[in-house]
């Protein structure tokens, strides 16, 4: 739970909405306010400033990179020298804060102990470990440039002072000629990629050895909670630990800052994947353990709730990881979150059925009209419940087909649950043939009552056998009682025993079960002829 809580906290920080200052709010007295100008060099936030500077350095466009230095006077050549010196200092042991850890707020961080208009984004190479600072300024505040431009972030004068000595010793042709790939030497990319793969392979091998040892020590690994925990946790943990170790070791790696910063930016994706993978596997392991225990205690409804909760948590985790990955690659998620407010109504209208099914799922789990494994009738569907999902419920019919019913529709239907019966109705109608006397009829009723009374699994109240009607071809005796068992197959056996006992005792008393008969009266056309009749009998099939 601590890991999950930390994961949620990191996501919350990564998707934080930028602060809005009063200066950025539209003035109410203006009829038509002009749109705020966007900086041409993308220097609105510390993150965008560092990312754009790295792109310029990767292209070896030092004139462009010079726009990210806060010089007192407009001197492109001197700014280009500063850019070249900064790259050499970073390549010689300096480092920058990884992309995902940089503030994407136009106001920067407020909890770093620095002034509000200053942000630390890295460290210069060399023994002094001079911090690389950005300062937030407004173009035109010093009399030059457009005063209506938004505030921008640039490398501060304090950092430039530390670079000043290095710029004097660097000539434009000092950069050695070598094969570059994406702005960095190919050897540096190979070094960092090998370091990442080797670190992951080492942790994967270690996790495999630990898992093999735990399996050997476990008597029954498949049912061992300790083994299942290690089996779920070790694969994603090996990836996460590999990313952490690579993050620490790559800071001082003898490689170009372009290669280091680019790989660290996208390695963050693996970190989020590893955390989401770890959380999902732990949710699956815990849910499987709970479900097995609940099933052993025949608490099937609670097991269904665990299954529904597991799916909901996994969807939330995947959504959070997806948002974090978008933030890592530089997608402005705050714009997407704001767009959800505008498109929320349209989304709600388009997803009415989905929301209805989700609410129906909660209703089915909370109200508990059925459980997985119950034999029930839902509308005109008769079968056994196989799964209660987030969107629908699946029922296996007696013909072995699977019927899927959306939960919104399922919760509104009439549900008849046969599995919750505590007893079974025994209500046959036994017809004795006409022609017996009233005394024999009373004897037949007494025989049926005695059969019911003699059986130990027949309910005493109610328990009756009464003459119900004079039927078309029989004297109908209605039996009404309950068989006090909960198992359907057992109730069928008891029903058979009762019917056979009734039949045998009636036969011993000389009483027969009637079958449908029909009497035909034939009348001749002659007026003097006496009426005759003939009786025919037929069996009922």
Q: How far from chain centre, in Å, is Cα 356?
A: 18
Is residue 361 domain-shared with residue 389, that is, in the same domain? yes
Is residue 463 domain-shared with residue 338, that is, in the same domain? no
Residue 517 CA to residue 432 CA, distance in Å, equals 12
Residue 513 CA to residue 503 CA, distance in Å, equals 8
Among the three residues 176, 199, 222, which one is the final residue of a domain in this structure? 176
Is residue 93 domain-shared with residue 41, that is, in the same domain? yes
The range of the structural domain enclosing residue 292 comes to: 184-350
Q: What pLDDT does 204 receive?
A: 86
Between the alpha carbon of residue 410 and those of residues 360, 362, 376, 420, the distances in Å are: 7, 12, 12, 18
Q: What pLDDT does 30 receive?
A: 37
CB 419 within 8 A of CB 376: yes
Any domain includes 529 = no
Is residue 190 domain-shared with residue 170, that is, in the same domain? no
Token output for 325:
């990955």
Among the three residues 176, 193, 224, which one is the final residue of a domain in this structure? 176
Is residue 343 domain-shared with residue 294, that is, in the same domain? yes
| Total-model pTM | 0.53
Between the alpha carbon of residue 382 and those of residues 49, 416, 447, the distances in Å are: 65, 9, 37
Per-residue pLDDT of the chain (541 residues; tens, 9 = 90+): 333 344 434 334 333 333 333 333 343 333 333 444 577 888 888 888 888 888 888 888 888 888 888 887 777 888 888 888 888 888 877 888 888 788 888 888 888 788 888 888 888 877 777 888 888 887 655 544 555 667 889 888 888 887 776 555 544 544 455 667 777 778 778 888 888 888 888 888 888 888 888 777 777 666 666 777 777 888 888 888 888 888 887 777 777 888 888 888 778 788 888 888 888 888 888 887 777 777 666 666 666 677 777 877 888 888 888 887 777 766 666 655 555 555 555 555 555 666 666 667 777 766 778 888 889 999 889 999 988 877 788 999 999 999 998 888 888 888 888 888 889 999 999 999 988 999 999 999 999 999 999 999 999 989 999 999 999 889 999 999 999 998 888 999 999 999 999 999 999 999 989 888 777 777 766 555 555 444 444 444 3
Count structural domains, the chain: 4
Q: Which helix (H) or strand (E) holds 351?
A: none
Is residue 251 domain-shared with residue 384, that is, in the same domain? no
Is residue 192 domain-shared with residue 233, that is, in the same domain? yes
């Amino acid at each position: 739970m601590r890991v999950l809580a930390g994961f949620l906290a990191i996501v919350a920080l990564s998707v934080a909405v930028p602060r809005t200052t009063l200066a950025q709010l539209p003035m109410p007295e203006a009829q038509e306010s002009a749109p705020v100008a966007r900086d041409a060099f993308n220097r609105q936030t510390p993150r965008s400033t560092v990312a754009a500077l790295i792109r310029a350095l990767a292209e070896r466009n030092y004139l462009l990179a010079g726009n990210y230095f806060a010089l007192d006077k407009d001197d492109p050549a001197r700014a280009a020298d500063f850019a070249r010196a900064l790259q050499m200092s970073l390549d010689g042991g300096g480092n920058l804060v990884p992309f995902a850890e940089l503030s994407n707020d136009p106001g920067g961080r407020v909890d770093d102990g620095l002034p509000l208009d200053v942000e630390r984004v890295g460290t210069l190479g060399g023994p002094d470990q001079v911090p690389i600072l950005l300062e937030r300024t407004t173009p035109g505040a010093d009399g030059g440039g457009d005063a209506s431009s938004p505030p921008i972030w640039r490398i501060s004068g304090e950092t430039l002072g530390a670079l000043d000595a290095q710029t004097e010793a660097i000539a434009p042709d000092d950069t050695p000629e070598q094969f570059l790939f994406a702005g960095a030497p190919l050897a540096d990319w190979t070094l960092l990629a090998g370091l990442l793969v080797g670190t992951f392979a080492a942790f994967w091998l270690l996790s495999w050895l630990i898992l093999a040892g735990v399996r050997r020590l476990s008597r029954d690994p498949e049912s061992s909670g300790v083994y299942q925990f290690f089996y779920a946790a070790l694969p994603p943990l090996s990836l996460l630990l590999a990313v952490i170790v690579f993050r620490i070791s790559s800071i001082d790696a003898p490689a170009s800052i372009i290669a280091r910063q680019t790989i660290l930016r996208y390695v963050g994706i693996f970190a989020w994947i590893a955390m989401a993978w770890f959380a999902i596997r732990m949710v699956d392991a815990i849910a499987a353990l709970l479900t097995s225990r609940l099933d052993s205690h025949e608490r099937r409804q609670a097991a269904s709730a665990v299954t529904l909760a597991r799916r909901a948590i996994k969807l939330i985790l995947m959504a959070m990881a997806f948002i974090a990955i978008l933030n890592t690659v530089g997608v402005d998620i705050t714009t997407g979150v704001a767009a959800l407010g505008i498109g929320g109504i349209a989304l709600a209208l388009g997803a009415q059925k989905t929301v209805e099914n989700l609410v129906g799922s909660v209703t089915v789990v909370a109200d508990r009209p059925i459980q997985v494994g119950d034999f029930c009738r839902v509308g005109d569907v008769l079968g056994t419940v196989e799964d209660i999902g987030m969107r629908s419920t699946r029922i296996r019919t007696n013909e072995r087909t699977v019927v899927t019913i959306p939960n919104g529709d399922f919760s509104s239907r009439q549900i008849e649950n046969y599995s919750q019966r505590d007893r079974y109705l025994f209500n046959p109608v036994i017809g004795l043939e006409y022609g017996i006397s009233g005394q024999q009829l009373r004897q037949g009723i007494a025989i049926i009552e005695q059969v019911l009374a003699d059986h130990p699994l027949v309910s005493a109240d109610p328990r009756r056998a009464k003459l119900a009607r004079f039927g078309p071809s029989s004297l109908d005796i209605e039996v009404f009682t309950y068989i006090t068992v909960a198992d359907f197959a057992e109730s069928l056996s008891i029903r058979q025993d009762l019917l056979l006992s009734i039949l045998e005792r009636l036969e011993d008393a000389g009483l027969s079960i009637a079958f449908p008969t029909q009497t035909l009266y034939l009348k001749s056309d002659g007026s003097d002829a006496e009426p005759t009749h003939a009786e025919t009998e037929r069996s009922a099939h």
